[in-house]
Structure 1
Amino acid sequence: VPYGFLGVIYGVYLAQLGFSAFAIGIVLTLTVLSSAFYTFIISFVADRIGRRRTLVFFALTDFVAGTLLFVSTDWWAPVLAGIVGNMTVGAGEVGPFLSLEQAILPRTARADRRTLAFSVYNLVGYGASSAGALLAGLPRYMGYPPLFLAYMISGLIGAVLYSSLSGAVEPKSRPGRRPALSPRGRPIVAKLSTLFAVDAFGGGFIGQSILSYYFFLRFGLDLATLGAIFFATQLVTALSFLLSERIARRIGLLRTMVFTHVPSNVFLIGVAFASTPLTAVLLLLCRQSLSQMDVPARQSYVMAIVDESDRTATAGLTSTTRTVSSSISPSLAGYALANLWLGVPLVAAGILKLAYDALIYKEFRQVRPPEERGVDPK
């Protein structure tokens, strides 16, 4: 829930503290880079020290970040909170939590239910984020402290919940000193990481904080209206996950990833050319109804085509690549919003993401997960 409202208010909050558009982009970049650093580290150590312990630790960093925001309105507090915590500039889908949970889910679900498990996982996550986005209008009436307090408390609750996870979340055997990736997994992860970098670089131009700030600048919408808009977009996104597993069962995981992603990027480019807030919001809703439908399919696909012993490292390294690539774009988006046509970030994102769709389909259309080859996916 806190990630839902933080994604909406963070950029606007920084602007109200006196940050310029370019400075906001720099702060968002630092936030994403810190998340990338944490994700990279856990790729190599989480299975050794324990996935449960690692999750508890990062939940407590959220508590620290919330405390910083709650106790100080100085410029350094939101900057440090973004670096120390796992504050997201979107609705989720990056960071150490995602990487670990992505590796855990196939351990706790039957192989033939793996995609459904990822669909439900994303449904719950985005559903909670949509509820959080609805709370983004509260500062208009109560100021920011209640939201920052909620973020702080959520870190403690998360730590308690993660500590209660069963031993089933841990790998079958501790990796010891073996390489993080097997020889078979290395070329797969290298190719996936490169392609995901293209997608994430495009996605960095339209993180939720950037989109929120775009609507703030372009149409002069206040936080209450922005909160309602992003509540609707995230709710539509959450509901789309219900269809992802069914579509994947019919046409396959990779085709689901690509065939739902392409039209969503066309809608995104259309948002940049919308002349009224109503048209822009309608196009954004159309985009959101499709844009994240590939996520459960992608997560399931990646975990299916690598060995179980490679899953934590694969999830961590591909997520790190996505996060690092997406960290570059907010600064460029901030510069564009301050100095160029406001629609530049949206058009750039749409073109880059369309290129990713074409490339991943070309490179992986012959690589099918075991269940699509008629093999028992143990």
Structure 2
Amino acid sequence: MALQVASQAALTLNKFKRHLLTSCGSIALGGGVWSMHFIGMLAFSLCTPVSYDFGLTALSFIPSIAASWVALNVISTTKPKLSQFVVGGILTGAGIGTMHYVGMAAMEMAPLLRYNLFYFGLSIIIAIILAILALWIRFSLNHLGRFALSDLHKNAIAAMVMGCAISGMHYIGMAAARFVRPPGFEFSAQTKMMSLYLGIAVATITVVIILLVLAVNMLMKYQASLHLAKLTEARYRATISTAVDGIITFNAKGRIESGNQAVELLLGWRLEDVCHQNIRDFIPSPFIDEFNARLDSFTNNIGQQKSTGRDVEALHVNGTTIPVRVSIGHACIEGKSLFVMYINDLRHRIEMQRALIKSEAQFRSLITNIPG
């Protein structure tokens, strides 16, 4: 969950949203470290009743979140340097270790807690090395060329390595623990009720963290999708409104859904009058059959297509016909057909052709009348 949120944060341009996503990812990863420790402690059977100091237990959450924040900021960087991986891995491993040993210090029991120095140091080294490796793997998987993996696979691989760093540190740290019996103390069976309460509390907190991060992640994705949709629509409307050619969109039944101002200038109709009418009302009857056949050819061949263009006539608001060149584009969106008609006014071109023909006729007449 944390790596998924970090991947989204790396693509977010808004600084506030990027920091918010990174913070949520830090809570997810920090919560994972914290949950792993205390659920792992439930697997540890000690022949004496054990409880946990509430203040130290809550305090142990802080270094894991801080370490996670450093880790996610490293992989959210566009081009992190090797030194960033090393520093980030050291701080992450140290944060995991700090969380573990603060959590161990929260244990309230009769035996005295001591540590084997070798295993203590080894647990920190393992956490640091695997944390560096996890950060490097997550970033390096983005540059595999033709062997590129999906974000889900990248996150899964890096998460397994990071999970090994967390659990490896925990169990080596547990191997380093030495429980010294005080003079005259006799071991007894460990109470199960405390473990049950602790397990329920940790599970509940973990589920809440997951739901919180998931909700923020989905909300950010929704806002990003909504912003992209609005931006795309604004670009579309700007393009349509400034186009020189007339543009009309209509559905499979021929009902007009939108148009641009060039249509008003060309045909004389107002857009309010054109919209929701049938496109066939503006096509002269000699071209209706050809138009219907063209639409049928589009709908029978699913996909996005565009016709090469056809010189036809369109009806003006005053009842006259205008020579135009029409091309039709087709797209199938969620099983529904959408057509886009481009209308180019041919009157200027026809007038130029007539003028050229007239000039050519005058030139030939002049040549014919020259003596000799």
- TM above 0.5: no
For normalisation by structure 1, the TM-score amounts to 0.27
Relative to its length, the structure with more strand (as a share) is: 2
For normalisation by structure 2, the TM-score amounts to 0.27
| Structure having the higher Rg | 2
Q: Which has the higher contact order (CA 8 A, sep 6+)?
A: 1
